[in-house]
Amino acid sequence: MYAEVEGLTGEERRQVLIELATDECDEPIDLYTSINVEMSQPLLDQFTEDTGVPAQLYRAANEDVNRRVLQEEEADVANVADVIANNDLEQAILAREGILAPLDTPATEGNSVVHDTWAGADRLVYMAAWSDSLEDPPTTWEEVFNAEGLAYQLGDVNWFATLVNDYYVAEQGMTEREAVDMIRDAVSGTSQIVDGHTLGAQLLTAGEYPVGSSLYLYRVRLMIEEGAPIAWEPAVEPLIARVTGVGMHHRTPCPASAMLLTEYILIEFQEMLPEFGRLPAVEGGEGGIPEQYQVLPINLDVYLDDYDKWQAYHDEVTGAIGGEILSE
């Protein structure tokens, strides 16, 4: 398939892919994804309308999507997912297992996260937020951690590992131990553990806590638009972003159709995302992250290679906070 489109770009490439995909397979191509149905089904409907290629959806939680893909690979079933769009962590796992096909396409140009076998489909940005009545809102992560009454997220070990490794160690010259100790000592005593990003934003809006750590930017933006008395700018930097990644199964029986859908997600879906209040994965896209802010991508290799270490470090921090865990 790559040979037929080599060197082609834009509409010429699209038309050749449509020709190759037409009648390529008897059944609709399959998209396995963790992207919610309210976004993924309109995506497939518009894709079929624009290309004439039928597609069907399997939507599940990120762990369930990966479990199904891995089980189908182990069983060597013929009817595999053609395209997989899942959280970056799960995509990295599939890539390590050799399940994703090489991705060589001009559609990745300008994308914030590009790997050999997958690229960003949408972007979820971790950031700090606070009550808009706070007289001295935090300007650094140290000030966030030292905030009186911080709502600290329980599950964001990937964010924590990236902040420590890629910011405090790589940029600020601290050791891992120094950075972890600093965070642990700062949050102990007056912070509250919260399990859930939406809950964290709701508690902030209700005035239960003045500052929240590692909330999702898209959610905070939507709540501010609805009149919530919270703020996030000027942003505490660096922001840290993870993506939903999209790639093709290495055994797809419909490679042209799979490439067509993958490129559609990397191009047209980026323009659809602001309609859903979500952030595109392309740099500088409408509704994305303001260009003046530093953004670090989740360091998947550090997180996956030393998962137990980072979980233990994070357990030190949450253990220092202690007390009841507020959950959704």
pLDDT along the chain (328 residues), means of 10: 90 96 94 97 98 98 97 94 98 98 97 98 97 96 97 97 98 98 95 96 96 97 97 98 98 97 98 96 91 96 97 97 92
pTM of the model: 0.94
Question: How many residues are present in the chain?
Answer: 328
Q: What confidence score (pLDDT) does residue 189 get? A: 82
- Dihedral angle over CA of 261, 262, 263, 267, nearest 10: 100
Contacts for 305-313: CB closer than 8 Å, 24+ residues apart: 306/161, 310/157, 310/160, 310/161, 311/157, 313/160, 313/161, 313/164, 313/176, 313/180
Q: What confidence score (pLDDT) does residue 285 get? A: 85
Domains of the chain: residue spans and CATH: 2-123+244-280 (3.40.190.10), 124-241+290-327 (3.40.190.10)
Unique residue bearing structure tokens 């182990």: 74
326 has which bridge partners?
A: 194
